[in-house]
Structure 1
Amino acid sequence: MPKRYKKSVYIEVLEFINTPDNHQEIIDFTGLPISVEYTSDGVQQLRVIRGAYSVLVAKLGECIVKEADGFLRVYTKEALELEYELMVTES
């Protein structure tokens, strides 16, 4: 009978909060260019441009996640907290 093992992995997370500093943090975090979509209602979303046909879209308040292998994805805060445990680091 097969056995099942569990592996914990660390990820890095940065929330899209739409400030000029946050835009630069996202560029530095991902190493990729971004564009921010503005409408008459304000900011709608941020796009991380991975390639001509590959764009990661994060809405205001969502989290950009960098996995251990460098893969990027987007999570809501709620979904992130369901799947991962926040690690507290000492300064």
Structure 2
Amino acid sequence: MQSRYQKMVYIDAIEFDNTAGNPQAIIEFTGLPISVEYTNEGVQVRVIRGAYSVLNAKLGELIIKEANGLLRVCTRAELEAEYDLVD
């Protein structure tokens, strides 16, 4: 007989808003170097995970740290559809 189980998983998130102190907060959150770029499409932050591994987040997007430590980017709507705010 098949059974299904659910596990509550906590994640941490930080929004890229390019305000004073926000780039430093992202560095402290990820523990990785970043660069802020001003492109034709707007402002974005690049989290540098390695020589060939970069995470790009546009202005207003969230950088998520999964329970296993992996980083990803999502919008606030995507985050709220999947998770409930704890605090």
TM-score (structure 1 length as normaliser): 0.89
Structure 2 unaligned regions, length at least 5: none
Percent of counterpart pairs with the same letter? 64
Aligned counterparts, 1:16-27, within 5 A: 16-27=16-27
Aligned length, in residue pairs: 87
Quote the residue 1:49 is aligned against.
Answer: 48
Question: What TM-score do the two structures reach when normalised by structure 2?
Answer: 0.93
Residues of 2 paired with 1:68 and 1:23: CA distance?
22
How many angstroms does 1:69 deviate by?
1.1
**Change beyond 3 A, Cα 1:22–1:9:** same
Instruction: State the secondary structure of the residue aligned to 2:24.
Output: helix
Matched to 2:2, the amino acid is P
Gaps of 5+ in 1: none
RMSD of aligned Cα (Å): 1.3
